[in-house]
A = this chain, B = another copy of it.
Amino acid sequence: SDSYSLLILPGDGIGPEVMAEVVKVIDWFSANRGMSFDVRHGLVGGSSYDAHGVPLTDDTMALAQSVDAVLLGAVGGPKYDTLDFSLKPERGLLRLRKEMDLYANLRPAQCFDALADFSSLKRDVVAGLDILIVRELTSGVYFGEPRGIHADDNNPDNEGGRVGINTQRYTSGEIRRVARSAFELARKRSNRVCSMEKANVMESGILWREEVQWVRDNEYPDVELSHMYADNGAMQLVRNPRQFDVIVTDNLFGDLLSDAAAMLTGSLGMLPSASLGAPMANGRPKAMYEPVHGSAPDIAGQGKANPIACILSFAMALRYSFDEGQAASDLERAVERVLADGVRTADLMGPEGGTPVSTSQMGDRIVAAL
């Protein structure tokens, strides 16, 4: 079968710990499914800053461009809070997203049956929840120019004398391509997309709404499309999240809404994500996979972290980068089986108990279940 090239960037905090468990899973698929992985390793975020003085080196950036898929752990930590903006761990992540042009960020929010009681929401509101947020990832206010903090000395009304500026900027083309991703994904699910913006307040939101509608009308007339203001979207996600199937939204709204949606499930330690770009010469999309959770510096190095989000991110890699849908499902089922058996990392340990395991034991159990 094919050979798949991977770049592993464990990052900071619990990143290295959870990634070590993914490596076990990769090894299992090599040994048992005749897949061949060419795996490289690199640094990103604070760990790269510590070693090289920058949150991502040009060499690592070039390597990321050359592989079939990047697997990323997590970046950031209080240690780096005082660094200059351009050197912060996050800049490494944002550079990867931007230069690889990973415009479609897929964030499933799925409520696992065995874990539904962990949600702060009532079981009957979230049981069976399965939504997919498609977040635009390479444009908007994250990257728009002009940006920065400037002196505003000639303004006598401005106590403090500074001004901070960021620019929300979307082209119609940027909106159309991520809309297409959302409609394609909807066709494989229940054929419904809800697009969110603030078209009542922002002209960029009007353009967003019009272009998403244009793609629907001209290319996906079979898909049902609705529009919702993002503030109402935040409300509706809390009120009745199961009304949604696929949600498509911009970079900043997607950041908040996907985090809120993730928290609805009650099991942040379980949620993977995929960031996809245009197809490369070999037909595979540029791709990076990472857990939704952060670097959790408070529990780093203690064997407490849940590796499942990172392992399920690798399952997404199998599905979206390598077209190994069967292997992806097998891995997802192995995770479900281990959970159904009551195996629990600290974050999943509830009143009804279970078998407590460390990060590494959880990885072993999942490999054993495969």
Contact = CB atoms under 8 A, between A and B. Distances in A.
Contacts of A141: 141, 168, 201-202
Contacts of A207: 149, 162-164
A198 B255 contact: yes
Nearest to A268: B235
Nearest to A144: B165
A88 interface: yes
A316 to B, nearest CB: 20
A238 interface: yes
Contacts of A34: none
Contact of A204 (B161, B166, B202, B240): B166
A147 interface: yes
Given A155-B171, A165-B204, A171-B162, A260 B234 contact: yes
Interface in A247-290: 252-253, 255-257, 259-260, 262-264, 268
Contact of A234 (B94, B122, B155, B257): B257
Given A198-B252, A257-B234, A239 B163 contact: no
Interface in A203-252: 203-208, 211, 214, 230-232, 234-235, 237-240, 252
Interface in A7-45: none
Contacts of A88: 200
A158 interface: yes
Given A121-B120, A256-B230, A163 B170 contact: yes
Given A252-B198, A255-B231, A203 B238 contact: no
A171 B158 contact: yes
Nearest to A125: B120
Given A158-B173, A234-B257, 12 more contacts: A121-B121, A141-B141, A149-B203, A159-B176, A159-B177, A160-B173, A162-B207, A163-B171, A164-B206, A166-B167, A237-B260, A238-B264
